[in-house]
Structure 1
Amino acid sequence: MNINRTDVDALNAVLSLEIKQEDYKEKVEKILKDYRKTANVPGFRKGHVPAGLINKKYRVPVMVDEINKMIQEKLNSYIQEEKLELLGNPLPKEQEDIDWENAKDFNFEFEIGLAPEFDVDLKGKKITSYEIKVDDKTINDQIDRIREQYGKLVNKDEVAEGDEITGVFRNDDEDINVDATFKTDRIKGKTNMKKLVGSKPGDVLKLKTQNLFENDQDLNNLLKIDQEKVDEGINVPLEFEITEVNTREKAEMTQEFFDKLFGPDAIKSEDELKERLREDASKQFAQQTDQKLLTDVTESLIENTKFDLPADFLKRWIANNGEQEMTAEEAEEEYNRSEKGLRYQLIEGNLIKNNEDLQLKFEDLQEYARTMIRQQMAQYGHTGATDEEVDQVVARIMSNQDEVKKMSEQLQNEKMLDFFKENVSLKKKEVSYEKFIEEAYGA
C-alpha cells in the first residue's frame, strides 16, 4: 500500500492511498475460509458450505471492512511517522461510486488540515494584575453580616429601615398571592420606602411591580412572577399586607460566638477573628484575581498572536463529523463559536511544547492528588493520615480516567497561571473589592 502527500498550501494537504489486490487478498481469503468452517447455511452441513457460495455472499463486505481497517491503520501510522499536527481528522474526498464487485485495485484521497506554525510573544501590552486590598471596612462589614446571621429575631410593632418584613403580595389579575419575607434594603426608591417605614402588621400597602426592588430578579424570587414577564418589564399594581415585622439583634462577640464560627477555642478575641477573616478573604480574593488574570492573558494572546487556520476545511469537517450532519450555514456558525477556543488551544499547546516546566508528568499528578487528598481529609478533621492511607486513595483516583482528566486540567491551569505571572508583562494594581468588581466586570 502506498501513501503520498500533496500540499495544497501551508495549511491544507491531500493524502492519496493506493491499495492493490495483494495488499488485502491474503487477509480476505483467510477470513472467508474461517467463515466457511462456521457458517450455517440451509441445505449444507456446517463446515461443508461450498467456497463459491461463501465467496459470493461474503466476499464484498469482508473486503470493504478489511480495506477500511487498512486505510485507518495506514493513515494513523503515516501521521505519527511524519509527526503531522492535524486540526480535525482526515476527511474523505468525494469520488465516484466504487465497483467493489469487479475492481481489484483502489485509490482513496483524504483532505487534511494542518496546524499553523507561529511564535507566541508574551511581552506585549501590559495586562493588569489585580490585588484586592482587604481593608478594615471589608472586614467590619463581614463581621456585621455574620453577627446578623447568628443573631436573634426580635418582633416589632412598626417598620423601620433595616427591618425584616413578612407579608402577602396580591394581584388577582396576575394570579399573585404569595407570602414573602425581605429586608427593607431590598426595596427601591424613597417613595416605596416611605410607604413601608412606620407601617404596622395588618396594614395593606398599595405598591407597583415596576421599580419595587433594587434587583428586578426579586420579582421572580419573591413574588414568583414568570421570568419572561420580569424580562419584559411587568408593571402592575400590588397589594402588600404586612403580617410580621422583625429586627435582627446582632450576636454578641463572646467566646460562644467564636466557637460557633470556627470550633472550640480556635478564636479567642475580636482581633483574632478579624485576622482570621482577613486571611480567608485574601485567599478567596486571590482566586478571583487569578481567574481574572488568566482570562485577560488568554484574551490578549488570542488577539495578538496572529496565524491563519484552514477554516474552509474545518467547516467541512464540522459539517460531517457531528452526531448529525450539518448544513454549511450551521457548520459555519459552529466554527465561529469555537474558533477562539481552538486558537487558544493551539497557543497553549505551543507554550507547553516549548517550555518543559509546563509539561505534565505522571509524578506531578500523583503529588497533586496527594496534596488534594490531605486537604480534603483535614477539612473533615482527619489531620494525621499516614502516607500509606493517602497513597491508597491516590491509587484509586489515578485508576479513574475521568478523575485523572479533571485533575490534569486543574493542574495544567495552575501551571499556566504561574507561567504567565512570571513571563507576561504585568501592571500590578491594588484595589478594594468593590473597585475590582467595577473594573473587572463593569458592575
Structure 2
Amino acid sequence: MNITQEKTGNLNAVVKIKIAPADYTEKVDKAIKEQAKKAQLPGFRKGMVPAAHIKRMYGKSILVEEINNLLNDTLTNYIAEQKLEVLGQPLPVLDNEKEFKWDNTDEFEFDYELGLAPAFDVKISSKDKFTEYVVKADKETLESRIKNIRRSYGKMTNPEVSADGDVLYTDLVQVAADGSVLEGGITSTATIRLDQIKDKKILKSLIGLKKDDVVTIDIQKAFEDAAVIAKALNISEEEAAELKSNFQLTVKNVNRLEESDLNQEFFDKLFGEGTVTDEAGFKTKITEEVESMFKQDADRQLSNDIYLQLIEKHNFELPDEFLRRWLKATNEKLTDEELAEGYDDFAKNLKWTLIENKIIKDNSIEIKYEDVVQAAKAKLDAQFRMYSPSPLPEDQLAQYAVQFLQEKENANRTFEEVKALKTFEYIKSVATLEQKDIDYNKFVALNK
C-alpha cells in the first residue's frame, strides 16, 4: 500500500491511497469464508456452502465492502500518525476517468481532500481587559419581584368591582357588524386576565365591571396574540390569527389575588423559621436572590465579551472553500442560500473551538470524569428545584447523574460545557477583569 500527501494550499491537502491486490486479497478471502459459514442457500446445508459459490454470487459486494473498510482504517491511521489536525472530515475526490473491474486483480487509487487547521498561538495576558459587570437590582425590578412573591403566597378574593390586574370569568359570544349576536358564531366560557390586555382603551372598559355587566370588545386588539385568543375561544391558532370580529363579554365573576401581608408567618414560609424578622430583612433577602440571578446574566455577558474579543484578536484563516463543500456534502438538505447565510457564524464558532482547544492543550488543563459528573449533578439539581424546593439526597442525585450521562448526547454536551467553563476560568485568571456596578435596566440595554 502506498500513501502520499500533496499540499494544494496553505490549509488544503490531498491524500492519495494506492491499494494493490496483495493489500486486500487476504481480507476478502477471509470475509468470503466467514460468509460461507453463515449462508443459508437452497440446495446447501447451513455452513456447507462452498466459498467459491459465495465468491461467484457475492464476491464483488464483499470486495467493495472490504476496500471501503481498508480505506477508512488507512486514512484514519495516517491522519493520526502524521498528527494532522483536520477540520470536518476528508472528502473523496471524484474522478470519472477511473474505472475499476472489481475482479480481485485491480490496483486501486483513491484521493481524499483534507481541510487543515491553521497554526497559531493564543496569547492571553493581563493586557487583555474585560468588564465584569456587577448587576444591581433597580427599584422597579425589586418592587416587581416583591409583588410577585407576595401574590404567590396571597389569597384569592372575589371583589364586587374589577380593577387592574384582576381575573374575569366571562362568557364570550361573537357578534355581527351591527352588534347583534351572530347566528352560528363562536361562543366560549373564558378566563380573561386583565394583565394580558394590550389595548389601553379596551383595558379601561374592563375596569369597574360587576357581575352580569356586558361590554363589547375587539378580540384582536385586546390580545394581539393568536395563541391567547385561540385558548380563550377554544379554536385553533390558525383560525384565531384570521379572526376579525367583535365579541360580547358578560362578566360571571371577578377574582383578585391579594398580596400576602408582610408578617412573620409569611417570612417563615419563605426563608425558614426566624431567619427573617422584619421588612428590612425581607427586602435584603430578596435583593440578594435577584442579584444572584443577575450574576448568571453578567457571567454570560462576560463570556460573550471574551469570545468576541479573542476571536477578533486571533484573526486566522480557515480553509473556507473546503468547509463549504464539506457542509454541503454532509447536509443534503442544506440549500446554497442557507449556507451563504449561516457560514459566517459557523466559521466564527469553529475559530472559537480551535482557540479553546489550543488553550486547553497549551496549559495542560484537565477535564476529569468527576468534573463532568459534578456538572451533570448541578444541572439535574437545578431542574428538580424548579418543582420542589427540597434538594434530592446526594446518593439519589449521583445515581440520576450517572444515568443521565449514559446517553451519549448528554455526555458529549456536558463535557463541552465543562470544557468551556474551564477555558473561561483560565482566561479570567490571566486577563484583567475590571468590575463595574450597573443597574439592571441599563445592563439589559447593553444588548439592545
TM-score range, shorter-chain basis?
Answer: 0.7 to 0.9
Partner of 2:284: 275
Change (3 A) 1:129 1:228: farther
* Equivalent pair of 1:314/1:335 in contact (CA under 8 Å): no
Cα shift at 1:400? 5.5
1:120-160 Cα shifts (integer Å, max 9, x gaps): 46679965543221356544442332222322233222234
Letter in 2 for 1:404: A
Change (3 A) 1:10 1:246: same
TM-score, normalised via structure 2 length: 0.79
* Equivalent pair of 1:2/1:17 in contact (CA under 8 Å): yes
State how far apart, in whole Å, the 2-side matches of 1:438 and 1:413 are: 26
Pairing partner for 1:201 from 208, 211, 218? 211
Task: Report the 3-state secondary structure (helix = DSSP H, G, I; strand = E; otherwise coil) of the residue aligned with 1:292.
Answer: helix
State how far apart, in whole Å, the 1-side matches of 2:279 and 2:409 are: 45
The answer to whether residue 349 in structure 2 is matched with residue 341 in structure 1 is yes
Cα shift at 1:164? 3.6
The answer to whether residue 444 in structure 2 is matched with residue 437 in structure 1 is yes
State how far apart, in whole Å, the 1-side matches of 2:163 and 2:333 are: 63
Matches within 5 A, 1:1-80: 1-34=1-34, 52-80=52-80
Change (3 A) 1:180 1:355: farther
Pairing partner for 2:426 from 419, 424, 436? 419
Letter in 2 for 1:22: A
Cα shift at 1:59? 3.4
Cα shift at 1:24? 1.8
RMSD of aligned alpha carbons: 4.0
Change (3 A) 1:338 1:244: same
Instruction: Please list every run of 5 or more consecutive structure 1 residues that lacks an aligned counterpart in the other structure.
Output: none
State how far apart, in whole Å, the 2-side matches of 1:33 and 1:193 are: 82
Change (3 A) 1:420 1:171: farther
State how far apart, in whole Å, the 1-side matches of 2:335 and 2:105 are: 33
1:320-352 Cα shifts (integer Å, max 9, x gaps): 334x47666666566466333333322322332
Pairing partner for 1:115 from 110, 114, 117? 117
Letter in 2 for 1:6: E
The answer to whether residue 309 in structure 2 is matched with residue 306 in structure 1 is no
The answer to whether residue 194 in structure 2 is matched with residue 192 in structure 1 is no
Task: Report the 3-state secondary structure (helix = DSSP H, G, I; strand = E; otherwise coil) of the residue aligned with 1:191.
Answer: helix
Task: Report the 3-state secondary structure (helix = DSSP H, G, I; strand = E; otherwise coil) of the residue aligned with 1:200.
Answer: coil
State how far apart, in whole Å, the 2-side matches of 1:405 and 1:212 are: 46
1:142-183 Cα shifts (integer Å, max 9, x gaps): 233222232223322223444443323332469543444445
Instruction: Please say which of residues 73-82 and 37-46 is displaced more in the overlay.
Output: 37-46
Matches within 5 A, 1:12-411: 12-34=12-34, 52-95=52-95, 96-101=98-103, 103-120=105-122, 128-135=131-138, 138-172=141-175, 175-188=185-198, 191-209=201-219, 211-213=221-223, 218-219=228-229, 222=232, 227=237, 236-303=245-312, 305-322=314-331, 324=332, 335=343, 338-357=346-365, 359-366=366-373, 368=375, 380=390, 401-411=408-418
Instruction: Please say which of residues 140-149 and 334-343 is displaced more in the overlay.
Output: 334-343
1:387-437 Cα shifts (integer Å, max 9, x gaps): x88877766666664553343233223323433434556554422223323
Letter in 1 for 2:352: Y
Letter in 1 for 2:437: E
Task: Report the 3-state secondary structure (helix = DSSP H, G, I; strand = E; otherwise coil) of the residue aligned with 1:253.
Answer: coil
Cα shift at 1:290? 1.5
TM-score, normalised via structure 1 length: 0.80
Change (3 A) 1:266 1:225: farther
State how far apart, in whole Å, the 2-side matches of 1:238 and 1:93 are: 66
Change (3 A) 1:151 1:342: same
Task: Kindly tell me the number of residue pairs found equivalent between the two proteins.
Answer: 435
